[in-house]
């Protein structure tokens, strides 16, 4: 491009034409080339060769950019397909990598991005899928925390005593006490029947248990508080 312009323009005009073709304003072209803004305006209005050279430079520049966009778009799509089809990556990782490809500026100086038809639909779908994955991930984490708390609470609760531990459960202890005192265990829905007892015998009287021994040598020191009459 520069060689064709040099055939009809001087070096300063070539630099101005290239600046204008790339999208620079008159002020920017004047600063970069050293030519005055009024001088450039005069060239555009009064020098047909200069005006034609600038239009030719713009057309060639746009054509070059279009070719470059096609190449980069094809490369970006290939990269995107490779990322989305990679089975070794988690779905959320693939989507984040795809978003990075879609959002990457390929022309930092001009602020260019991928074409609109590629950038928007895939980006919106990827964002929606990514949001769903993140929500599902939060649900899994919450379920795990609830399960962990439930398991911890179950492990901290006291376990019932086993027969091998030598400790009796409250039910066994209660039954033993009732057998010792001669009372009946209380059950729901039933009235407790009073237990008949005999007067406390004297120390030298026969023991009411029917053993034939004196009370002082038999049941005197036992912890009963009521004594039933011995059955014949």
Q: Specify the residue for token string 């073709």.
A: 21
3-state SS class at 210? coil
Return the pLDDT at 117. Answer: 41
Lowest mean pLDDT among 70-84, 107-121, 138-152, 184-198: 107-121
Q: Indicate if the pLDDT at residue 14 is higher than 80.
A: yes
3-state SS class at 206? strand
Q: Indicate if the pLDDT at residue 169 is higher than 50.
A: no
Confidence of residue 232 (pLDDT cuts 50, 70, 90): very low
Is residue 71 within 8 Å of 35, Cβ to Cβ?
A: no
Q: How far is residue 33's CA from residue 30's CA, in Å, rounded to a whole number?
A: 5
Q: Indicate if the pLDDT at residue 212 is higher than 70.
A: yes
Confidence of residue 105 (pLDDT cuts 50, 70, 90): very low
| 88 to 78, 94, 154: CA distances (angstroms) | 17, 10, 38
Q: Is the dihedral of CA 160, 161, 163, 165 positive or negative?
A: positive
Q: How far is residue 43's CA from residue 69's CA, in Å, rounded to a whole number?
A: 32
The mean pLDDT value of the chain amounts to 66
Return the pLDDT at 27. Answer: 86
Return the pLDDT at 151. Answer: 55
Lowest mean pLDDT among 109-118, 132-141, 194-203, 223-232: 109-118
- Summarised one tens digit per residue, pLDDT across range 26-84 is 888 888 888 888 888 888 888 888 888 888 888 888 777 777 777 776 776 677 677 66
Region 158-185: mean pLDDT is: 51
Return the pLDDT at 128. Answer: 63
More confident residue, 91 or 23: 23
Region 87-105: mean pLDDT is: 65
Confidence of residue 116 (pLDDT cuts 50, 70, 90): very low
Region 203-215: mean pLDDT is: 80
Is residue 113 within 8 Å of 105, Cβ to Cβ?
A: yes
Residue ranges of the alpha helices (H) in 85-161? 91-103, 116-156
- Identify the helix (H) or strand (E) that includes residue 27: helix 26-33
Q: How far is residue 156's CA from residue 76's CA, in Å, rounded to a whole number?
A: 56
Q: What is the pTM of this model?
A: 0.34
Q: Any idea what the Cα angle at residue 199 is, between residues 194 and 202, rounded to 5°?
A: 150
Q: Indicate if the pLDDT at residue 6 is higher than 80.
A: no
Listed ranges 50-54, 83-87, 171-175; the one with the highest mean pLDDT: 50-54
């Amino acid at each position: 491009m520069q060689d064709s312009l040099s055939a009809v323009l001087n070096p300063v005009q070539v630099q101005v034409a290239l600046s204008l073709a790339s999208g620079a304003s008159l002020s920017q072209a004047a600063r970069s080339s050293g030519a005055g803004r009024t001088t450039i305006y005069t060239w555009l209005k009064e020098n047909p060769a200069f005006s034609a050279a600038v239009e030719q430079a713009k057309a060639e520049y746009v054509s070059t950019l279009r070719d470059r966009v096609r190449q980069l778009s094809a490369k970006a799509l290939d990269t995107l397909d490779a990322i989305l089809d990679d089975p070794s990556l988690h779905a959320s990782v693939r989507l984040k990598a795809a978003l990075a490809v879609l959002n990457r500026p390929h022309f930092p100086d001009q602020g260019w991005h991928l074409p609109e038809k590629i950038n928007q639909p895939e980006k919106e779908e990827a964002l929606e899928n990514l949001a769903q994955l993140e929500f599902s991930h939060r649900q899994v984490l919450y379920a795990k925390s609830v399960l962990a708390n439930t398991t911890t609470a179950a492990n901290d609760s006291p376990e019932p005593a086993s027969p091998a531990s030598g400790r009796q459960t409250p039910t066994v202890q209660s039954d033993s006490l009732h057998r010792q005192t001669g009372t009946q265990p209380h059950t729901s829905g039933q009235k407790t029947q009073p237990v008949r007892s005999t007067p406390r015998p004297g120390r030298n009287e026969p023991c009411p248990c029917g053993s034939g021994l004196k009370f002082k040598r038999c049941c005197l020191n036992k912890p009963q508080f009521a004594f039933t009459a011995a059955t014949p």
